[in-house]
Amino acid sequence: MSLEKPTIVIFDMDGTAVRHINPRLLHMLEFLDNVSYKLAKIFLWLFKRKAQGRIVPEWHDPEWSNDQKKRPRLLVHRAIHKFRRKPVEQIVQPCPGLYDVLDFLTENNIQMALVSNGLGKGYGHDILKKFELDKYFKTTVFREDISNSKPHPQGILLALKRMKIEPKESDVIWYLGDRHKDVVAALAASKLIDGKVVPIAVAFNAAVAVLEKNLGPDHIIMAYHDMYDQLREMFEKTPASSGTLEKKTKHTKVA
């Protein structure tokens, strides 16, 4: 089944919108985030639910309610980001071809948001400002904004709420991510709203998840230049000629 033209597009940040100059840092962040997430669920299962039911509840369970009054302590995230002293441009850089896709979506009046498991304060917001990405996104959701991180769909649902969008059945919401949990979060969100939340894998880990979920290889777009060409075909209904991708040098950033 081929992809449907998006009406809304939501991006993950680390590994999706930007890539780490030192990939080991990203892998460490992802590993620690996964460990802290799983440990939190085990402690809740043991001490709050008395070891009853599933350790990780189903999405419709009251345990997963979007309670914005609760805020995670985020000790691991805060410790890592306090430890780093380098400016963000020495840590990450926008993924090649990203601006071409963002500009094209903006020109076609597609609303965009960003949902990340990373911290906004002292990290995510600095990245958006430094690389002039904040102007593209109607809203952003970072780890301190939610009580449940991905693979829970809360971040995606909150982004839609902040955008004041109540998805209709005709809406097709692309969620771009590089990790297994991004695919799971998108599929979970799709069960809770009208319309479709379509996971788009932009890296190997997410691509494996797409195949595991039997979504088909069309949900895997490993390069933004390829995504740009596909979007042109969808919106303009004419195939993009090979080698005609316009290079937007005005966005080039020097570290």
Q: What is the mean pLDDT of residues 156-166?
A: 96
Question: Strands, DSSP E only, in the chain?
Answer: 8-11, 18-20, 92-94, 111-115, 139-141, 172-177, 196-201
Please provide the DSSP assignment of 44-104 as one string.
IIIIISTT-S-SS--TTSGGG---TT-----HHHHHHHHH--S-GGGTEEEPTTHHHHHHH
* Residue 201 in this model has a pLDDT that exceeds 50: yes
In this structure, is residue 3 part of a structural domain?
A: no
In this structure, is residue 253 part of a structural domain?
A: no
How confident is the model at residue 87, as a pLDDT?
Answer: 83
CATH of the domain at 38: 3.40.50.1000
Q: Count CB atoms within 10 A of the CB of residue 224.
A: 23
Q: What is the mean pLDDT of residues 156-170?
A: 96
In this structure, is residue 251 part of a structural domain?
A: no
How confident is the model at residue 245, as a pLDDT?
Answer: 45
pLDDT digits (tens, 9 = 90+) for 209-240: 999 999 999 999 999 999 999 999 999 874 44
In this structure, is residue 132 part of a structural domain?
A: yes
* Residue 60 in this model has a pLDDT that exceeds 50: no
User: How many Å apart are CA 105 and CA 171, to the nearest integer?
Assistant: 15
Place of tokens 């441009």: 89
How confident is the model at residue 119, as a pLDDT?
Answer: 86
* Residue 68 in this model has a pLDDT that exceeds 60: no
Average pLDDT, the chain: 81
User: Hey, which residues does 173 pair with through a beta bridge?
Assistant: 8, 197
How confident is the model at residue 88, as a pLDDT?
Answer: 84
pTM comes to 0.75
In this structure, is residue 1 part of a structural domain?
A: no
In this structure, is residue 111 part of a structural domain?
A: yes
Q: What is the mean pLDDT of residues 73-82?
A: 51
* Residue 159 in this model has a pLDDT that exceeds 60: yes
User: How many Å apart are CA 131 and CA 99, to the nearest integer?
Assistant: 10
In this structure, is residue 152 part of a structural domain?
A: yes
Percent of the chain with pLDDT over 90: 58
Q: Residue 58's domain spans which residues?
A: 8-245
Lowest mean pLDDT among 56-65, 146-155, 159-168: 56-65
Q: pLDDT band at residue 46, thresholds of 50, 70 and 90?
A: confident
Q: How many domains does the chain have?
A: 1
How confident is the model at residue 42, as a pLDDT?
Answer: 73
Q: What is the mean pLDDT of residues 46-59?
A: 63
How confident is the model at residue 45, as a pLDDT?
Answer: 65
